[in-house]
Chain A
Amino acid sequence: MNLVACSVIENREITPGNFLLTLKVPHRFARPEPGQFVHLRVSPETEPLLRRPYSLEGFFERGNTRAARIYYSVVGRGSKALATQPKGQTLDLIGPLGVGFAPRPRRVPILVAGGRGVAPLLFFARKLRERKRPFVFLFGARGGRELYGVREIRGGRLHLATDDGSVGYHGSVLALLKREWEAGEHTPLSAEIFTCGPHGLLHEVAGLAAARGIRCEASLEGPMACAVGACRGCPVPLRAGANGNGARYPAMCIEGPVMDATIVDWERLP
């Protein structure tokens, strides 16, 4: 992890309100793992005051150039400021940070993405393809326009779902996951789940995984101040029994953002 200055190669609005940011990063920025994040200063000004944590959508090396990509939606002050940063702008970031996805050998990863939560899973799918590992990618969004990045998902089996039925299965990605599992091809010893999206979806995926004894990792999202474990501002509530000897809140920034979904107390996670 380092503090590095980056320059904006591209900051493009892909669909209304959804942006893909490509940053040129120096070699001092270590190669990230899928699921890791960066703590980005979204503007050279002091407003907004705090950095914003973003999972990486991808990391690319071509020749001597290294680029990190972030897929984000304009939802608040930070992302609004970020959306105005032009090509060539210098922004600094701290990273790569946190714990990424940890697939077990010889198990089929089932990736479950909801909306813009697809970002770290696209990075993950590219890595799996590079390693020639088969995977299943289940991706749900409100409508077809929010199905970002589907053309880049190669090397695995892809199923789509939309709330409005415009593309793929008409309904939730959770139904796709149930169908996938009930087809009987997978067992808890042969497959595992990796998920990212709204916490409501992650809660449901975790419930399904826990009920069937499937290993399941979820990438969490939340406000962070330091992002290096110092300020203790991003606690993850754990279920009773998962707390060890006494109550304890792991910090999302250093013990996450990817965590065992079945130990998280989703009711108490904002």
Chain B
Amino acid sequence: MTPDLGVRIGSLALRNPVLVASGIIGYGAEYERLVDLSAIGGIVTKTVTRHPRAGNPPPRVVETPAGMLNSIGIENPGLEGFLEIKVPILRTLPCAVVVSVEGEDVQEFCELVEGVSGSGVAHAIEVNISCPNVGPHGLRYSTDADMARQVMTAIRPLTTLPLIAKLTPNVTRIAEIAAACEACGADAVSLVNTFVGMAVDSISRKPILGTVLGGLSGPAIKPLALAKVWEVVQAVDIPVVGMGGITSPRDAIEFILAGSTAVQVGTALFANPALPEECVTELERYLRRADLPSVADLIGALEVPAERGTIRAGRCLPVEPKSRGSAS
């Protein structure tokens, strides 16, 4: 019997729980020849902002031990450019498309959600309230539960698409922000975005990144990310989309065991474009070996002493696998 890999994020049915994270794969076309999109659950686009952004000055990336720091600064064509140039390409992709958006204020978030929703191309919207690289406003919305609440409350009535709030780990109590998003109508939360980090060149006595600070990703952050996911899945009932340093299929399975309904592959895709597909294949093999009929049986199946915590999130019903994700 073939295990059922289908999962649900709100009304979005994914044929399997493996997505590619925002900022990794552009708008899909860039990696067309390298990643088999028909084998994975979907992609999350590069974040779209209300107005075009040129991004940050170089250098924008530097490799660190088992990781990478980036300070891209959300270079993107803005909402109008996205609708005109990127939407026609996204329409042709053989997988679910989650569009990531970020506004500088509540009004911009609203315009973005309406614009993206109206395009008809998105199967869900990831609300990026957590980028560390765009000045004070990004982190402001996800380091403060009240601000997150304001954004979610304002955009919720504007679309029927599933809303996934993307959270930053750069907070003291991530579960509070997650719970605030849930209370204001988020269908899911995704975490973690990058950890704020810094690299110094002791020879030139200068910071390596043009913006001094950047976001750390890659296998170095996996244990930190798992801990944040673990904290959030105990605090909310909506699905959690887990990510942070997934470098092998086993990493993806660990996030699912810890309570993630779906996972996102990020930085490691740069080294291994086949990784998302390998995650799907290995997940199926893992379920088969464990004699489990569906991935739903694996979500939050981590065996933890009762006094150490209980998973609430990620209780999803299995769905029929579909050739293309759809918001129904």
Contact = CB atoms under 8 A, between A and B. Distances in A.
A234 B31 CA distance: 16
Interface in A1-45: 1-3, 41
Interface residues of B, number: 36
B271 A50 contact: yes
A47 interface: yes
Interface string B18-46: 00000111100011011000000000001
Contacts of B66: 46-47, 49
Given A50-B68, A249-B75, A230 B26 contact: yes
Contacts of A51: 270-271
Interface stretch (B51-59, B104-112, B159-167, B170-178): B51-59
A247 interface: yes
The binding surface of chain A is classed by DSSP as loop
A214 B202 CA distance: 39
A129 to B, nearest CB: 32
Given A2-B33, A234-B61, A49 B67 contact: yes
Contacts of B59: 222-223, 270
A235 B57 contact: yes
A54 B150 CA distance: 48
B23 A231 contact: yes
A87 interface: no
Which range holds the interface residue count of chain A?
Answer: 35 or more
B54 A249 contact: yes
A49 B219 contact: yes
Interface string B219-246: 1000000000000000000000000000
Nearest to A248: B54
B70 interface: yes
Given A229-B26, A268-B58, A94 B34 contact: yes
A232 B63 contact: no
Contacts of B34: 1-3, 94, 228
Interface string A232-270: 111111000000001111000000000000000000111
A223 B33 contact: no
A249 B55 contact: yes
Contacts of B68: 49-50, 225
B273 interface: yes
Nearest to A52: B63
A247 B57 CA distance: 11
Contacts of A94: 34, 273
Interface in B48-83: 52, 54-63, 66-68, 70, 72, 75
Nearest to B58: A235
B103 to A, nearest CB: 20
Given A78-B63, A232-B46, 17 more contacts: A3-B274, A46-B66, A46-B271, A47-B66, A49-B268, A49-B271, A77-B63, A226-B31, A229-B30, A230-B25, A234-B61, A235-B75, A237-B57, A246-B54, A247-B54, A270-B58, A270-B210
